[in-house]
Amino acid sequence: MQRWILRRKNEIALVSFIFIVIGFFGHWVLQNELVAMIAFIIPSVIGTIPIAIQAYQALRVRVISIDLLVTIAVIGAFVIKNYEESAIVTFLFLFGTYLEQRTLTKTRSAIKELTELAPEMAVKKMPDGSFLEMSVDEVDIGDILLVRTGAKIPVDGKVIFGEGVVNEATITGESMPIIKGLDASLFAGTILENGTLHMVAEKIGEDTTFGKIIELVEEAQDSKSQAERFIDRFAKYYTPFVLLLGVAVGLIWQDVELAVTILVLGCPGALVIGVPVANVAGIGNGARHGVLLKGSEVIHDFSRIDTIIFDKTGTLTLGEPQVAGVKNYQENQTDALAYLASIERESEHPLAKAILAYIGETEPFSVKDTDVIKGAGIIAKVDGRRIAVGNENLMEKEGIILTESVIADVDDFTNKGYSLVLTAIDGVLYHLLGIRDEIRENVKEDLIRIRKLGVKHLVVLSGDHQKTVDIIADELGLTEAYGHLLPEDKAAFIQNLQEQGKKIAFVGDGVNDSPSLARAQVGIAMGGGTDVAIETSDLVLMNSDFSKLPHALGLTKATVRNMRQNIWIAIGVVFILLMSLLFSDWMNMSIGMLAHEASILVVILNGMRLLKYSYKK
């Protein structure tokens, strides 16, 4: 019975409104007090029932809720035969609840839209070569899928045949279509606007990028910030205080009407709902713009950041380095390059791809006894020979003396901002490769925007040569730059700044960034980076779009401002209502409830403004 009644709160509110209209018609037009009284009694009774049920359910879990205050106030008004006010208060409370639910639903529209965009069907290639449409749940990793014009990409994977134009707005927040050809990555939930593609499934179900986005955003919306937890604790004690205050006033002054009016005026409805609605709207806006905020606490922490530390490769740079300079020190380079390629094929270092692209196809050799020297390079046995690949520190450890001409080449490449890779075979230096990674487009402008948002210190930490890091820092106008750092050195650097009172955000994209992402107050992962970095982080910039960072920072600051505005609106309304009760004659329960419901709508609508937030470039 209770569930049946609660499901029909909106219908009860509508019936209450009709009887209230009849009551005023009987009072003012018919001038029949009996009709008016009956018309006001009916909504007072039927309107109180769902409110009382909710109050009872809260009491069962030892919570004194707003519903209890309203229930007691309405019963009190009914006892003193103030049927008009009891009817109006119940209607306004039920109608306010209805409006709250409608507007809150709109703030969650971003998640609803994401869920609706999830692909449901896929066209799979069968063993006989035919294609069969089936549920996306039946797709397995390695399956060949057909995607036609206008269809959603069903899972994450790569193009193995064809070419098409894909809209990736659901992943990146950008609606500009991207041309996808052979070996291009595809993401579930994106739309093939033109063309026909054959793809191989690499990630399915919740493991797809789109599935993780929905999961992360839903988890974020269910989380509670420090402000929300404080308000929950405040309401836990404030609501019983209002109840006791009303009872005390009623007993001391022997004025039931004053007591029940205090119960209505003291309701903290807007205070309780103001912060959650701002958080939900902020997280929803981020999801629409390719920014994943992993929880309400992240919003609070990121808004207070005064220092942002960047990894270099793949963060400030594109992460697509190319060999820009070569110096050979021995005649026969064929075997040396083949050995180097064999080692780099097994490496996950960002420079490995550039080296392999430069060398091209070579004879493959088996690699044995690989020893990765952190911050220096790799030593391995290839074709029975000892190969050392790395920087000057590794060559020094191997006892290889760099001649003056080699040192001059190293200085020349360093001054040009190249990353250095030296290769030695059996203690003999064979060549030096200079690798350059282009700075991301418009990064300098984005960093200026970040400064304007209040971040005082912009620092780059890298395992690269100090001169290379300095060149990047000078070009981008960074505050500080440090090179030759191991992953543990970066984490220690962050800890040292934190001990000085700095609020740190770290931006990175690699596995070696994970300790720093975890150490910082806010870890920010580039969405095109490794799964480990994304899992460790607090905030993800989808598609590695650096331009989303100013939006994310501005959004969190706007969300925190919005929370504070809502808190002050709620407190201000309660204060004005109570002062009006003490120092005026016009304040009553109906006006108080109307003001409360209006304040709840104001804070909700104020929070919903965040859905349209966009950082003004």
> Over 413-433, what HEC string results?
HHHCCCEEEEEEECCEEEEEE
pLDDT tens digits, one per residue of 305-318: 999 999 887 788 88
Last residue of a domain, one of 436, 468, 502: 436
C-alpha distance from residue 566 to each of 591, 611, 612 (Å): 21, 16, 17
Kindly state whether residues 307 and 328 are assigned to the same domain.
no
Q: How confident is the model at residue 606 (pLDDT cuts 50, 70, 90)?
A: very high
Model confidence at 327, pLDDT cuts 50, 70, 90, reads: very high
Please tell me whether residues 91 and 52 are part of one structural domain.
yes
CATH number for the domain spanning 140: value is 2.70.150.10
Q: Is the residue at 173 inside a domain?
A: yes
534 falls within a domain: yes
Q: 499 and 353 in one domain?
A: no
Contact residues for 47 (Cβ-Cβ < 8 A; gap 6+): 12, 13, 16, 74, 87, 90, 91, 93, 94
Q: Summarize the confidence of residues 415-430 as an average pLDDT.
A: 90
User: Would you say residue 554 lies in a domain?
Assistant: no
367 and 411, same domain (yes or no): yes
Same domain, 360 and 395: yes
- For 550-563, b/e burial (b = at least 16 CB within 10 A) is bbbbbbbbbbbebb
pTM: predicted TM-score of the whole model, two decimal places: 0.70
Asked if residue 105 has pLDDT above 70, the reply is: no
Per-residue tokens: 477: 């106008």
Whether the pLDDT of residue 18 is over 90: the answer is yes
Would you state the pLDDT for residue 568? 92
pLDDT for the residue numbered 112: 56
Do the Cβ atoms of 202 and 157 come closer than 8 Å? Answer: yes
Angle made by CA atoms 35, 98, 81, in degrees to the nearest 5: 30
Boundary residue ending a domain (436, 463, 489): 436
Reduce the DSSP state of residue 125 to 3 states and report it. Answer: strand
Provide the 8-state DSSP code for 526: E
Write out pLDDT tens, residues 216-258.
556 655 556 666 677 777 777 888 888 888 889 888 888 888 8
Residue 211 lies in a domain: no
Domain that holds residue 603: 2-108+219-278+559-612
Look at residue 217 in the predicted model and tell me its pLDDT. Answer: 59
616 falls in which pLDDT band (50, 70, 90)? low
E strand segments, 367-454: 367-373, 377-382, 385-390, 419-425, 428-436
In this structure, the answer to whether residues 43 and 89 fall within a common structural domain is: yes
Q: What is the pLDDT of residues 481-524, one digit of tens each?
A: 998 887 788 889 999 999 999 999 999 876 567 788 888 999 89
Residues 302 and 339 reside in one and the same domain: no
The DSSP symbol for 314 reads I
Residues 6+ apart with CB under 8 A from 450: 308, 458, 549, 550, 553
Grade residue 53 by pLDDT with cuts at 50, 70 and 90. very high
Q: What is the structure's pLDDT at 388?
A: 93
Instruction: Name the domain count of the chain.
Output: 4
- Whether 85 and 141 map to the same domain: the answer is no
Do residues 270 and 297 share a domain? no
pLDDT of residue 207: 81
Q: Is 311 a residue of the active site?
A: yes
- β-partners of residue 422 are 390, 432
Read off the pLDDT of residues 521-552 as tens digits, 9 standing for 90 and up.
Answer: 998 988 765 565 566 678 888 777 898 999 99
Residue 505 belongs to domain with CATH number: 3.40.50.1000
Task: Looking at the structure, tell me whether residues 460 and 607 fall in a common domain.
Answer: no
**Mean pLDDT score, 366-391:** 86
- H-only helix segments in 131-268: 169-172, 209-222, 226-253, 256-265
Paired tokens of 457: 């210190």
Which among 156, 311, 446, 464 is annotated as catalytic?
Answer: 311
Q: To the nearest whole percent, how much of the chain has pLDDT over 90?
A: 33
Residues 455 and 362 in one domain: no
Tell whether 212 is covered by a domain. no
Q: Are residues 581 and 495 in the same domain?
A: no
Sign of CA dihedral 583, 584, 590, 595: negative
Q: Is residue 77 part of a domain?
A: yes
For the chain, give the percent of residues with pLDDT over 70. Answer: 90
Average pLDDT, the chain: 85
Helix, strand, coil percent values for the chain (each to nearest 5): 55, 20, 25
Residue 283 lies in a domain: no
pLDDT-based confidence at 198, cuts 50/70/90? very high
Burial (CB < 10 A; 0-12, 13-18, 19+), residue 584, is exposed
Of the candidates 168, 203, 238, which is a domain's last residue?
203
Question: Residues 279-286: what's their mean pLDDT?
Answer: 85
Q: Which two tokens stand for residue 543?
A: 């598609």
509 within some domain: yes
**Residue 414's CATH number:** 3.40.1110.10
Which H or E run contains 494? helix 487-499
Query: 598 versus 219: which is more confidently predicted?
Result: 598
Q: What is the pLDDT of residue 266?
A: 80
Cα separation, 468 vs 458, whole angstroms: 17
What does the pLDDT read at residue 136? 92
